[in-house]
Structure 1
Amino acid sequence: MKTSEILREKVRDLWEKYVKHEFVKQMRDGTLPLESFRYYLIQDSKYVEVMLKSLMRASSFAPTNQATKVLSSILLTRDKGMEVHNYLLNKLNITHEEIMRTGYNLANYAYTRHLYYYSTKGWKEFLSAWAPCMWGYYEVGKFVIGSPNELYSKWAEFYASEDYKMRVDAILEALNSYEFDENLLKPFSASVRFEIMFWDYSLRREETPFHEIT
């Protein structure tokens, strides 16, 4: 088995809770309250900012060919992703100013710090911490696409797309170039748990008290 497959198999039950979370199921059937989706988009926007900073830091540890392929996969599909993201923000009247003045919820605060920490430890460690987000969203996108709610289906279209799969394939290829190591399980498992928490907090629209990431 490939390293990524071993990691996912070892957290199989958690993985299913993540990709088939109640938030995701409600997106699929169109019953998720728009207020929860709006809350999620704001928190996700804040997450992505730190995720990209973490990626750039971690890539300094990577073999040149891997860093180039992974970064290129992000950059080549960035326009399509931003197009969908901006469409959703506009539809829900979410401004850049609102995103900036909204704090991180506890799950997002912890998750982004977790990613940034592993970006300082090494490339394969970061890949194992990052893969659940990118890989899981491809599965979620395929599950949610076709939702009767136009906004949720639009969101899912990008994550279920070949453009997005290009990102996932590049990340998993890099991760699978390393032999499985039990030390990779801790960041991978923690990220899956953070993803579950991210959905939980968005569903409940938890308070957002944390304004700075250091």
Structure 2
Amino acid sequence: MSFTTMAKQAALASWEGSFNHPFIKELQAGTLDKDIFRYYLIQDHYYLKHFNELYALIAKSTTHPELKALLMENAKNLALGEIAIREDFFSELGITDEEIEHTPIAPTAYHYVSHMYRQLIEGTINSAAASMLPCAWLYQELGDTLITKQSPVPIYQRWIETYAGVEAQEHIQQERALLDELYAASQPDEQTQMIEAFVISSEMELAFWEMAYQKEQWYKNQ
């Protein structure tokens, strides 16, 4: 059984939880509170900034030519696509640089990013790459699922369209195939690390929706 098949099976509960979370259900139905979506976008701004940096750091650290090329392409695509589209969302919703700067980073966003950085320090290059996959893969599957029913709120529909389509599917298949190859060539201890890194990231994806839905804050800020 391939790495990505085993990893997704191990993370199935949190994966299904993301599809069934009220944030996702209400976003498609058009009933999601705009303030919740705004909070999500602000926290995601922090997350994507570091996610892009992690692509670059892992690419710089690896000697595997295919992994280096894929991660550098991911960083480029993220900057030109998802991050650029977010700027339009910020403008439409009146999210200013000042608001972003003065909104504390929520615990879940902080912990998720910290988990991926930790893979570079205490894990391996392969486990670091594995920790990055759930975000792109889950969003691609969410996009393909949600696109089948039009959201009545235009900005929510544009968010869905960001992640749907054949191009996104093909890129995820390429990334999955490479990680399957890296896993097969790894020692058992590293294989375990890769599975664990993937599962934790999947659980953090589910926690991220809840973080936004509850407008999660540190205790000192509540």
Calculate the TM-score normalised by the size of structure 2.
0.86
Distance 2:135 2:171 in 1: 11
How far apart, CA to CA, are the structure 2 residues paired with 1:77 and 1:207?
Answer: 27
Query: Residue 47 of structure 1 contacts residue 112 of structure 1 at CA under 8 Å; is this kept in 2?
Result: yes
Q: What are the equivalent positions in structure 2 for 1:51-130 lying under 5 Å apart?
A: 51-59=51-59, 60-76=61-77, 78-120=79-121, 121-130=123-132
Q: CA deviation at 1:81?
A: 2.6
2:187 is aligned to: none
1:13 aligns with 2:17: no
* Contact 2:56 2:75 (8 Å CA) reproduced: no
Q: CA deviation at 1:27?
A: 0.7
Q: Which amino acid letter does the alignment assign opposite residue 178 of structure 1? A: L
- 1-structure distance, mates of 2:78, 2:161: 13
8 Å Cα contact 1:50-1:116 kept in structure 2? no
Deviations 1:16-56 (A, max 9, x none): 01233221111111111000000000000100111122222
Q: CA RMSD in A?
A: 2.1
> Quick check: 1:104–1:209 contact (8 Å CA) kept in 2?
no
Does the 8 Å contact 1:125/1:187 carry over to 2? yes
127, 143, 146: which one aligns with 1:144 = 146
Q: Match for residue 207 of structure 1?
A: 217
Cα distance in 2 for residues equivalent to 1:65 and 1:31: 43
Tell me if the contact between 1:84 and 1:154 (Cα under 8 Å) persists in the aligned partners. no
Q: Which has the larger radius of gyration?
A: 2
Tell me, in whole angstroms, the C-alpha distance in 1 between the residues paired with 2:152 and 2:129. 34
Percent of residue pairs bearing the same amino acid type? 24
* Structure 2 residue runs without a partner (length 5+): 185-190
2:27 aligns with 27
Specify which of 175, 194, 198 is matched with residue 204 of structure 2: 194
Deviations, residues 47-96 of structure 1 (Å, cap 9, x unaligned): 01111222222221240222113322441464233442111111111122
**Candidates 174, 178, 185, aligned match of 2:182:** 178
Q: Which runs of 4+ in 1 moved over 6 A?
A: none
Counterpart-to-counterpart distance in 1, 2:109 and 2:81: 24
CA distance in 1, matches of 2:166, 2:120: 27
Query: Mind listing any 5+ residue stretches in structure 1 that lack a counterpart?
Result: none
After TM superposition, the structure 1 stretch with the greater mean CA deviation from structure 2, 79-88 or 193-202, is 79-88
TM-score, normalization: structure 1? 0.89
CA gap of 1:6–1:62, structure 2 versus 1, over 3 A, is farther
